[in-house]
Amino acid sequence: MSPVRAVIHRLLSQPWWGAVVVLAGLLTFGDALLVRIDTSLLDLVRQHLVRPFQPAPPARSIIVALDERSLQEAGHWPWRRSLQADLVKAITHAGARVIAYDLPVTDLSAPQTAADDHLLATALREHGRVVLPVASPRRSGPDVPDFITPLPALAAVTTQGHVDTELDHDGMHRRVFLRTGQGARPWDLLELALWRAAVPVIGPGRAAGAEPGPDRGPAWHEGERLLPATPAEVPVVSAIDVLRRRPLDSPLAGRVVWVGLTAAGLGQPVPSPDDPRMQHGSAVQRHARTYEALVHDRLVRVATPRTVLLLSLLPLLALAVLGTVRGRPPSRHWLPVLTLLPIGVSAVLLLTARIWLPPAAAVLGGLAATLLWHVRELRAARLALQQTQGQANTTLCAITDAVITIDTRHEVQYLNPSAERLVGRLLASARGQTVERLLQLQPGDAPALLDALGRCIGQHRVVELGQPLRLHCGEHGERLVRLIASPVSGQRTGARERPGPLVRDGAVLALTDVTDSLRAAERLHHEATHDHLTGLPNRALLHQHLQQALDRRHGAASTVAVLFMDLDRFKRINDSLGHHQGDEVLQIVAQRLRSRCGPRDMIARWGGDEFVIVLQGMAGREAVAGLAMALIEAVAQVIELDGVEVECGCSIGLSMTPEDGQDVDTLLGSADTAMYRCKAKGGRRFEFHASGMHAWTREWLTLESRLRHGLEEESFVLHYQPQIDLDSGRVVGLEALLRWRQPDGSVWGPSRFLGVTEACGLILPVGRWVIQQACRQLAWWRENGVPLAPVSVNVSARQCLDRSLVHDIAQALQGLDLPASLLKIEVTESTATSDLGQLKALLTELRAMGVGVSLDDFGTGYSSLTHLKRFPIDQIKIDPSFVRDILHDPSGAAIVQAMIALAHGLGVPVVAEGVESEQQIAFLRQQRCDIAQGYHYARPLPAREATRFLLQHQHSPSTVYRGAAQTQPGDLDEPMAHWRSRAA
Q: What is the 3-state secondary structure (H, E, C) of 602-639?
A: EEEEEECCEEEEEEECCCHHHHHHHHHHHHHHHHHCCE
Answer whether the bond into residue 358 is a cis peptide, omega within 30°: no
- CATH number for domain 710-965, candidates 3.40.50.720, 3.20.20.70, 3.20.20.450, 1.10.340.30: 3.20.20.450
Q: Which among 148, 163, 94, 82 is positioned nearest to 121, based on CA atoms?
A: 82
- Euclidean distance between CA atoms 282 and 272, whole angstroms: 11
Residue of 9, 869, 16 whose CA lies nearest to 369: 16
CATH topology match: 530-691 vs 710-965:
no
How many whole angstroms separate alpha carbon 101 and alpha carbon 965?
Answer: 137
Strands 220-226 and 61-66: unpaired
Continuous H helices in 739-791: 754-760, 763-783
Provide the pLDDT for residue 27: 59
Report how far residue 25's alpha carbon sits from residue 339's, in angstroms, rounded to the nearest whole number. Answer: 18
| 3-class state of residue 437 by DSSP | helix
Rounded (10°) CA dihedral 147, 152, 156, 159: -30
Give the largest CA-CA distance in the chain: 180
Q: How far apart are CA 366 and CA 16, in angstroms?
A: 9
Cβ-in-10-Å burial (0-12, 13-18, 19+) of 697 comes to: middle
> Would you give the DSSP letter of residue 128?
-
Q: Give the whole-angstrom CA distance, residue 937 versus residue 724.
A: 8
- Other beta carbons less than 10 A from residue 311's beta carbon: 18
Residue 853 CA, chain-centre distance (Å), reads: 61
Question: What is the structure's pLDDT at 610?
Answer: 93
Contact 647, 572 (CB under 8 A): no
Going from the C-alpha of 819 to that of each of 786, 814, 816, 979, the distances in angstroms are 16, 8, 9, 19
Distance CA 927, CA 894 (A): 10
Q: Which amino acid is at 265?
A: G
CATH class of the 530-691 domain in this structure: alpha beta
| 506: β partners | 407, 488
Contacts of 110 (CB under 8 A, 6+ apart): 151
Query: Which residue type is seen at 978?
Result: H
Neighbouring C-beta atoms of residue 360, cutoff 10 Å = 25
Neighbours of 912 (CB within 10 A): 29
pLDDT of residue 792: 95
Strand pairing report for 491-492 and 502-503: antiparallel
Give the integer Cα–Cα distance in Å for 914 and 787: 24
With CA atoms as reference, report the closest residue to 801 among 585, 576, 567, 574: 576
pLDDT at residue 495, as a whole number: 44
The domains of the chain are located at 3-54+303-378, 61-297, 398-520, 530-691, 710-965
Confidence (pLDDT) at 29:
56
How far from each other are the two terminal CA atoms of the chain, in whole angstroms?
91
Instruction: Tell me if 452 sits within 8 A of 468, measured CB to CB.
Output: no
Q: Residue ranges of the chain with pLDDT lower than 50?
A: 11-12, 201-213, 215, 278-279, 492-498, 500-503, 862-863, 962-984
Q: Is the dihedral of CA 933, 938, 939, 940 positive or negative?
A: negative
- Residues in contact with 307: Cβ distance below 8 Å, sequence separation at least 6, in sequence order: 357
Asked if 187 and 161 count as a contact pair (C-beta separation under 8 A), the reply is yes
Q: In this predicted structure, what is the pLDDT of residue 531? A: 92
SS3 call for 439: coil
CATH number of the 398-520 domain = 3.30.450.20
* Rounded Cα–Cα distance for residues 193 and 196 (Å): 5
